[in-house]
Amino acid sequence: MPRQSDKRKAIVTEVMREAIFEAAASVLCQHGISGTTMHRVAEAANLTKSNLYNYFRDKDELLQFFNTRLVQPFLEAIEEISKSDLPALQKLEKILRAMREYSFRLKGLIRLIREGDRESEIRKNIRPRIVKIFTAIFEQGIREGVFRSHNPEHTGRILHGALAEFVELLAEGASDDELNSFVESLIDGIQHGFSFQTEKSPAGDAWSPNSSN
C-alpha cells in the first residue's frame, strides 16, 4: 500500500540520516570544518558520494543538519524535564546539570560548531524554545510561591543568556572546574538569590519579603 511504502521510506531515510550524522561527527573530529568534505563523509558512512547527495544537496545543508541534530537531544531532555511533576526549583537545577553533562560529553563537537558561521542560525532556531521552557518554569515557581511576582519571560531570557555564556566559556577553552563552578554558582543564585539584603533600602530600590511585588 502507498502509505506503508511512504512509511518505510521515511524510516529508511531517518536511519540513513542518523548514519550520516555519526559519519559527519567522525570526520569533523578528525579534519575540522574546513577539512570536512562530502567525499569524506560519504566514505565514512559507507555511501557513494552520489548517494549522499540524495540526502543532502551540499556541505552547507549537511552541516546545518548536523548542528541541529547535535543539540536536539539536549532540547528533548529539557522539554521532558519541564513537563515533569517536579517543583520549579528542581526543574531548573536538573536542566542546568543536564546542560553541563551534555556539554562535557560533546565538548569537542560544540567547539567545532563555534568555529563555523552556522552557530548563530542554531541559536536563532532553538532560542525561542528554550526561553519558552524557562518562562513556563518561572511561571510555575511564581504559582508555587518560591519566586516573587515578576515578568517570567524576562527571567526566562536572562537564564537563556546565562546558558549562552556557559557555551562561550566552553568555546574559549575553560576548564571543567571553571565550567562546574559557573553552573553551581548559577544554581545557587537561582535557589538562594545573589543578595543578602532582605529589607528595602532607603531609596526603595530593593525588594523585600514584605513588599507587595
Looking at residue 198, its pLDDT comes to 55
Q: Do 120 and 153 sit in the same domain of this protein?
A: yes
Calculate the alpha carbon distances from 18 to 25, 53, 133, 162 in Å.
Answer: 11, 15, 27, 31
Q: Do 74 and 172 sit in the same domain of this protein?
A: yes
Q: Do 46 and 86 sit in the same domain of this protein?
A: no
Of 166, 159, 213, whose CA–CA distance to 191 is shortest?
159
Q: Is the dihedral of CA 15, 19, 25, 28 positive or negative?
A: negative
Q: Do 43 and 143 sit in the same domain of this protein?
A: no
CATH number of the CATH domain containing 128: 1.10.357.10
CATH number of the CATH domain containing 9: 1.10.10.60
Give residue 175's domain range.
68-192
Is this model's pTM higher than 0.75 or not? Answer: no
For 84-122, give the secondary structure using H, E and C: CCCCHHHHHHHHHHHHHHHHHHCHHHHHHHHHCCCHHHH
CB of 139 within 8 A of CB of 147? no
Q: How many domains does the chain have?
A: 2
pLDDT 10s digit of each residue in the chain, 213 long? 456 577 777 777 778 888 898 898 888 888 887 888 999 999 999 999 999 999 999 988 888 888 778 788 888 999 999 999 999 999 999 999 999 998 888 777 776 666 655 555 566 778 899 999 999 999 999 999 999 999 999 999 999 999 989 988 888 888 889 999 999 999 999 998 888 765 554 444 444 444 444
